[in-house]
Chains A and B, each alone.
Chain A
């Protein structure tokens, strides 16, 4: 089945220790997104790639970076995680940016910063 796969499902890291989360897709979608979701809140968009074009949200901290080496993979790098970065991180894809392209989410990586 075509899908969005995130690894790992759970990640624990220490304060200040860099961490990388990965996402892969078999949908061949043009757009890949990273969302942060804190407990009982809506997902918050961090950034997205349309093909190789990177689009950062204005309020995304510099601590969060992303890479998309090819169509199928996208990575979220947190350079110096703080306790406040503990959250679920969701990867999503869409065919395009238009209204006919709903988001398809992976199952998320739950990150705990200790």
Chain B
């Protein structure tokens, strides 16, 4: 079946650093979604992308729908402690297909 490859699996950041993570697939998607999940909570939608090339911001977060429609990235600028958590990308190939999740990127604060 279709798969989303999300990287990196985990990363350590220092407060104030910019962060970048991405998702790739061999399939073409018509929707890309980015979620954040805090421990013990459900995922929360951060950004939704619906068009190839679309660049959308939500505060310090920016996500882009890749031109090839096979990838998407999420950037976080000037990271703060509450950015810690697991970030999931998710995508949908067509209106008739289910939403597929990446394996997540765990963001931690470097001590």
Contacts and interface: CB of A to CB of B under 8 A. Distances in A.
Contact of A102 (B42, B45, B88, B96): B45
A40 to B, nearest CB: 7
B103 A41 contact: yes
A82 interface: no
Interface string A70-113: 00000000000000000000101000011110111111101000
Contacts, number: 55
Interface of A: 4, 6, 40-43, 45, 48, 57, 90, 92, 97-100, 102-108, 110
Contacts of B63: none
A100 B50 contact: yes
Contacts of B95: 97-99
Interface of B: 30-31, 33, 35, 40-45, 48, 50, 86, 88, 90, 92, 94-96, 98-99, 101-104, 106
A32 B96 CA distance: 15
Given A102-B45, A102-B48, A97 B103 contact: no
